[in-house]
Structure 1
């Protein structure tokens, strides 16, 4: 074989090995990131449902609203369950200072979820709130 053919074969072999190594690393990282995400069963087990509350808004409207609070651990969920009176109080306080227009659309609801998440995290001694979900809302 001449030098050009040998060089081409060696080069192609090196390229194939590098591609295989790159694909292997990409596959391993994607598996690791999938393992970091909790399964839906874990999310449900660490979530606390807040039954529907009714309260007045600052704009002479009232709201009926329910939440699910996702925590990062069973201990955080259990602590929030024990602090249910504080959780309800926090929700009512936040809502009573808002007007109906503040809760319109996606942005208003996301803002409320973030405000409540921050407030609930300040209540917790162990763990943290990962996400607050509005599960139903009616403004009248």
Structure 2
């Protein structure tokens, strides 16, 4: 009788150890999988981007700027919305540039300030997603 109880306890402990070991193995493998990249692929970026053709306008100091943009959004729907809002995008670009002088746009920092201001203004318009990045694809001041 006593042997049966001991044998039963040994079996229960072994089964528990095997189950715990199996669960630990599965969890370890699940958490150690390489994380799927959260960064979109280049195809996804292109799909969610909108090309703004060349805009030529005056700056506050009567200099002229000519630029083209590529605007990356969060998804295809946001890109479609931004395409429809093309006239509003151009208006915002012209408004922002009309407040700036050529010296404000010089160097990397000047362009980054312009891009940040543009991104903020465009995101105020967006209803389907948002603008993630603005790329200057051409930029000339005279």
**TM-score by shorter chain over 0.5:** yes
Cα distance between partner residues in 2 of 1:130 and 1:60? 31
Tell me the TM-score normalized by structure 2: 0.76
Which residue does the alignment assign to 2:35? 31
Which residue does the alignment assign to 1:99? 101
Q: 1:68 aligns with which of 67, 70, 75?
A: 70
What CA RMSD, in Å, does the superposition of the two structures yield over aligned residues?
A: 1.6
**Bigger radius of gyration among the two:** 2
Q: Residue by residue, what CA displacement relative to the aligned partner does 1:15-67 show, whole Å, maximum 9, x if unpaired? A: xxxxxx7xx95x63x533x2x11000000010000001000000110000010
Cα distance between partner residues in 1 of 2:109 and 2:49? 23
Q: Secondary structure at the match of 2:128?
A: coil
Q: Secondary structure at the match of 1:31?
A: coil
Runs of 4+ aligned structure 1 residues displaced above 6 Å come to none
The total of aligned residue pairs comes to 115
Which runs of no fewer than 5 residues in structure 1 stay unpaired? 1-20
Q: What displacement does 1:137 show?
A: 0.4
Which runs of no fewer than 5 residues in structure 2 stay unpaired? 1-27
Cα distance between partner residues in 2 of 1:40 and 1:59? 38
Tell me the TM-score normalized by structure 1: 0.78
Which residue does the alignment assign to 2:89? 87
Cα distance between partner residues in 1 of 2:118 and 2:136? 11
Cα distance between partner residues in 2 of 1:114 and 1:65? 16
Cα distance between partner residues in 1 of 2:112 and 2:59? 17
Which residue does the alignment assign to 1:7? none
